Chain A
Amino acid sequence: MKLNIEGLLVYFPYDYIYPEQYSYMLELKRTLDAKGHGVLEMPSGTGKTISLLSLIVAYQRVSSAFPLDVTKLIYCSRTVPEIEKVVEELRKLMEFYAKETGERNNFLALALSSRKNLCIHPEVSSLRFGKEVDGKCHSLTASYIRAQRHVNPNQPVCRFYEEFDAVGRQVPLPAGIYNLDDLKDFGRRKGWCPYYLARYAILHANIVVYSYHYLLDPKIADLVSKELAKKSVVVFDEAHNIDNVCIDSMSVNITRRTLDRCQNNVDTLQNTIQKIKETDAAKLREEYRRLVEGLKEANVARETDIYLSNPVLPDEILKEAVPGTIRTAEHFVGFLRRFLEYLKSRLRVHHVVQESAPQFLKDIFDKVCIDRKPLRFCAERLQSLLRTLEIADIADFSAVTLISNFATLVSTYSQGFTIIIEPFEDRTPTIANPVLHFSCMDPSIAIKPVFQRFQSVIITSGTLSPLDIYPRILDFRPVTMASFTMTLNTFNVCLCLVALSSKFETREDFAVIRNYGNLLLEMSAVVPDGIVAFFTSYVYMENIVASWYEQGILENIQRNKLIFIETQDAAETSMALEKYQEACENGRGAILLSVARGKVSEGIDFVHHFGRAVIMFGVPYVYTQSRILKARLEYLRDQFQIRENDFLTFDAMRHAAQCVGRAIRGKTDYGLMIFADKRYARADKRGKLPRWIQEHINDGSLNLTVDETVQLSKHFLRQMAQPFRQEDQLGLSLLTLEQLESEEMLQKITQIAHQT
């Protein structure tokens, strides 16, 4: 259908449209018109992605006439399957365009992923872990390796990269939609490396789909996304966890093991320098000369050389010359040694130390006379040295890279970070295991360049409530903030708040555990196919499973359904998940016990019969005793005036909403959502749930007993088992073009968006 959204012709590749999709596009267009940022919450399963793509593609097509507007869409998602799904939806849209307009448009869209997902080199791609693939790739494609090949033809190189380097850059990637597999196919046909091809092609592509890290992690962003056009629209989908991604990308942990490995690295560096000095001293002199001229010049390195780029450095620093104290190779190694010794001494503590970055810098100056300035150059200087020394396998040098990144970060940012040194784990106070946490507390640091640089940034997800908290913690000013609900003809969600308690003090209580068990047991007899149950933490789940086993509850559940349990091992859990789906598929039915904040709760959808009921046992608060968290809460309070409790509840609620939202993935889907904790009924918790969940809470679903829940579920499931007809939906939660254009409906639609 062709839509007219405030004067913009939007091609929408379906015959019908949900009212909320229309409303979403409306808000999105206003955001783009204003060239500002937006926060949009819409429940999953309402076709968020296709609405986004339809509108932005339409916008791009129009703006090709007005060269001032949007030129590029950068779509960031979280997981590889999500990325691939987005590209497939885009393909659908483009096919629709081609069918309607009858012309092939020269649109280029592609997905970019890590080497592990794109490599086609037979040996390299068979490696199992991403890190190994990266390392191996580097050892085949680094510029000095390739230079060595001129001297020594036996030096192995990657033929795909060679071929790409020779011819791949001259011809642009032909227009089309490229998913990861398409890129690989194309690469195989041409004999070009798909990874470097994709990285090159994103510069002139109309749409780029990749993961958050390529934009948020300064170590990669600098490398991949540096040259993307300013007039881009950036979309962060599934963005409810974006603050944690930001923080993770800027934080560093240093253990004694890191330091030991670093020591080895430094020794290796020393030896290599010694060797080179004897054979090829000119090389070192050349490097020295370049460093005098400034880092920028030293940095004209070929793209492949930068394996891990430095953390964000202000541009003015790069223009300066490297300080004299670390300019020669030996001096720099000596400098590293001193820094390392200092860190070692700091780890020899017997009590917990917490200090700020300036305190740390002062201390390091007092103790070992290391200045702030050379520290800031540490990461760059190390990269330059590794290049000069022609180290093949940079993966071995991850420890020293980590230390130098830490040095750069700690000396660059005086605010927003904290240093915590813990001599032992809280649970095992007798075993010494000192760790230095350099922890970022301010997610806005990592995302700031994105907001500054790009014209429009859209943050969207199914669970962003309360909406106003994201602009605060990410420190930006949105032009639109809206929350949309799912319009339904009947309620396809049954929400039950069961009055059980798992307060931290009582949750090990025998009666509580047994009540939980009874709830699950009763539900397993009532609910068809799959049930997913989430616990608040892994340890807690282990304990509960053990006591259910002792009490014989699990055996009774087994009479109704098979039981699968998430473990800490990802491969094992994947297998359990697949078996779980198989059991749901063949009608036996199964229960999956899982953990909130775990991998399953974040990345796996339980559509239709894979999840007919979700039970959330307890409120998934984060582990509050952690010092890092405490520091962060303090920071939030001081900087953004967010109360500790508010943030903790917000965090718990977004995870709970994520968990229960896993089961409803569309309007034809239905499921039970059971919050098994009476604390959910309190206003402060309820108020922080997304609007589309809150709508289903009524007085009849509050404070239920187990029996009442079972009765309610039975009734609900019997209703839902009736055939789902399109006619019932039409005009209410599903619109034809005519219906959409009626005055009355447009009136209604304006009410869907809940502005804040």
Chain B
Amino acid sequence: MSLVRRRKATDKASSSDSQVPDKDSPKEQEYDTADVDVQKKAQISKSKAKWSCVDSCCWFIGCICVTWWLLLFLYNAMPASLPQYVTEAITGPLPDPPGVKLRKEGLRAKHPVVFVPGIVTGGLELWEGHQCADGLFRKRLWGGTFGEVYKRPLCWVEHMSLDNETGLDPPGVRVRPVSGLVAADYFAPGYFVWAVLIANLARIGYEEKTMYMAAYDWRLSFQNTEVRDQTLSRIKSTVELMVATNGGKKAVIIPHSMGVLYFLHFMKWVEAPAPMGGGGGPNWCSKHIKAVMNIGGPFLGVPKAIAGLFSAEAKDIAVARAIAPGFLDNDIFRVQTLQHVMRMSRTWDSTMSMIPRGGDTIWGGLDWSPEEGCVSGRKKHRNNDPQTANGGESESLVSQVKKVNYGRIVSFGKDVAEAPSSEIQRIDFRDAVKGNNLANTSCRDVWTEYHDIGVGGIKAVAEYKVYTSGSLLDLLYFVAPKMMARGGAHFSYGIADDLEDPKYKHYKYWSNPLETKLPNAPEMEIFSLYGVGIPTERAYVYKLSPSAECYIPFQIDTSANAEDSCLQDGVYNVDGDETVPVLSAGFMCARGWRGKTRFNPSGIRTYVREYDHSPPANLLEGRGTLSGAHVDIMGNFALIEDIMRVAAGATGEDLGGDQVYSKIFQWAEKIKLKL
């Protein structure tokens, strides 16, 4: 305030100064200054009146502080059950959580349960770092509040990245998974992953000794978790211990998302002989595992992984870009967000485990795909009652079938995506000269392999126009040879012709259900539990980025929209749980492993259980108890109930066998796979 006052006064003074030469009289000048004095006094008295402005400002701040403090006090003094009362008052009584309900039915803890978290949801903490990460020892870098991302983003990216070539720790950095149930109960404060399931299991008597979170470093390739951390050995010994200390009751395994593939890998690993495997002997699984209850399992990969690897974006990012075009691509502030994200995530081998497997046979070729025909305009009425939601509802599917070429996972331009295959002119990119390195030094700190590709190479990629799941692999090998070379040593994406071929004893095939046999465990059960009823990314329309030096040269063409079609913002959607298409989550249990097939020689029984998505009715419900979304499904009461029943001893038949809302069986029929 005083500052303002002074400036005004000097303004006056200077203006009076400027008048001085005109008057040219000291007396008048004196008078002038006197006048100024008077003005000053007037100003002061005026500002005294204004002074209350500051005053009220202070008052305002004070009031806010006091109110805040009071509210905080009240919040702390409030009985813990109050929010629940409020919710119940508004939405009516909540249904009993499954734990309470089943406890009343007399269910008790029986089989030990093992959780296998998926990608991204597990916490990672720092054990050794560079100077910039001082004071973060054993603090979470991933999960929790992510405070460090904002405080020191570059340092964070540096620590979260793995080594480019080995896919293991970079020198001087050790980031390790958080262990125990806390690893993935909440991803961030208030954002549950496993917490609801854990709480419900605890109601029927589960506790630390009968529950185990098989936390692993989800950035590594599966075999590397054993090489670096001996994670697989530890899971093996923990399962053995839990079975032994619970009176020989076999374990129920509950993998989620990528954990499904991880556990597939584990089952092969544990029975393989010692140097490469765990040496558990050929009957380990049948001795120790009662059931594997896969939640939202991307058995055959997810198309999202392609977009992630190709241009570090997915639907959400593409949409954000469409809204605020300048923001993400901004390199004025040297932000280069996407490039950093890409550089980091490309060092994570595990992202490559999610690339669609099975090629054109599974995902469709240029002209056909199993899901052919897009179901749009799906009408749903919300159903808050779990009972009726469980009972097969046959409404919905008001479909306007329109042929969509889902097989073309990446197409350059909307017209290309829709044109008949005969009309597309394609120029093979595989032999294209990559051209000169167009990266200039300013982009150097962001390492993506795009800098090694010249203009020619990028053009060649765009001119091939359409990529199906099979040619996509070639594309990835073309644009990111180093990454794929690293990943290719750990993962495989094909279909086995002859499963007896000794080459399939190598660990890189273990996580691909199409290249491994299930263990010999006829009493075991495999469940596929996943949500349906949410549009899920399946294919993309791409375009070349407006040329700028440091950019990722491709991006999703968000302007590509089509009415009455599943094309939205450059993304073709199908039914799924928002991340995993139904085809990937359900096919193996619906057909690939059904009965005695060559992938399932001992005839392990499989069950498909789908959960139809209904969004929460209001904000108070949080993420809903009927959700089918990829992560939110972990709070789905029906799913929790199924899991608890199995954990308490039920079999798949007791649950009611298959429960299907989607067309998974029809689609599975269309896939011509030798079984």
Chain A partners chain B? no
A residues within 8 Å of B by Cβ?
none
B residues contacting A by CB (< 8 A) are none
